[in-house]
A and B are shown apart, each in its own frame.
Chain A
Amino acid sequence: MTESVPLTWEEVARVYGRKIYNFAYRLTGNPDDAADLVQEVLLRVRRGLASYQPGSFEGWLWRITRNAFLDDVRKRNRRPIAPLPDEIDRWELASTPGSDVEYSRISLGDDIQKALLEVPIEFREAVVLCDVIGLSYEEIAIAVSVPIGTVRSRIHRGRKILKDLLS
């Protein structure tokens, strides 16, 4: 695949910022967590661009993104805090209330989003990378560092769990 590699992190932010945000949002279901993840990813991209070796830029970028997400999950699991409120409370507590239009847009996919959050992380990230971001199985394999056969299996199992949850 021929890809033009953005030269600066600002270009990465401009071109991929929205994709990274949507990836993070669909994985976490929370706008604040998604925003934090975007900033963390861009920080890592800024540090890593100098040593980036030409190859699959998207594979590299999404590997950074999913690693940042997993680091955040691990950090949260270690943090001795009160249990998270349920998803509806988390949505209501979002610090930056959006417009009614934006809220209704978010609500449209509410059931699917809630179901996504019930899917185990390794299957969820595969489904989101495939169906929300639009990566090929090969690109997902690079990003997640697993064989393509594993990607195929994870996407299928993720969709099957979603199917059971939504039916």
Chain B
Amino acid sequence: MTHPTELISAYLDGELTRAEVSQLQAHMSSCGKCVADMEGLQKVRTSVRSLPLIELPPGLLGDAEPVVVPLRRNRGFWVGAAAAGVAVVIAVATMLTPQPTSLSVNDLNSRFGARVSLDPAFGPAKVAVPDVRDLTE
């Protein structure tokens, strides 16, 4: 099986075309390895994005006082949040499913009542992620 691994990072960044999203979605519904890869890459992405902001050393800009602007644009945040939600649901589902390779998006929807989509256009308001504690009880 050829794994479209390179699509995973671009998916997390909301940089895939609609056709590529469909391709990834179709593949991941039957590939536990790529689900695990997405989980790992999502963690790395979040870690780097969570690095603390380093303030400028005093006086570096001379008389030009720095303007406080967001270091990172909001673009991608909701995509990341939605992807994180999807990753959590898929990860939990993977743990609870005896044969992960048979996991499908429809299974997730019916099993956990969650709206699951790999479409980065989905924002958190459209992705209802069940409480992980509820699922594991």
Contacts and interface: CB of A to CB of B under 8 A. Distances in A.
A57 B76 CA distance: 20
Given A109-B51, A152-B15, A166-B47, A18 B56 contact: yes
Contacts of B15: 136-137, 152
Interface in B1-52: 5-6, 8-10, 13, 15, 40-41, 43-45, 47-52
Interface stretch (B65-73, B88-96, B98-106, B115-123): B65-73
Contacts of B61: 13-14, 17, 38, 42
A132 B48 contact: yes
Q: How large is the interface on B (under 10, 10 to 19, 20 to 34, 35 or more residues)?
A: 35 or more
Given A134-B76, A159-B44, A106 B54 contact: yes
A153 B15 CA distance: 12
A131 B15 CA distance: 13
Contact of A106 (B9, B41, B52): B52
A105 B50 CA distance: 11
A15 B56 contact: no
A125 to B, nearest CB: 13
A26 B40 CA distance: 21
Contacts of B8: 156
A133 B72 contact: yes
A25 B75 CA distance: 23
Interface of A: 10, 13-15, 17-19, 21-22, 25-26, 31, 34-35, 38-39, 42, 96, 102, 105-106, 108-109, 112-113, 116, 127-128, 130-134, 136-137, 152-153, 155-156, 159-160, 162-163, 166-167
10 nearest A-B pairs in the assembled complex, by CB-CB distance: A134-B72, A156-B9, A131-B48, A109-B51, A134-B73, A13-B64, A105-B52, A14-B67, A10-B64, A163-B44
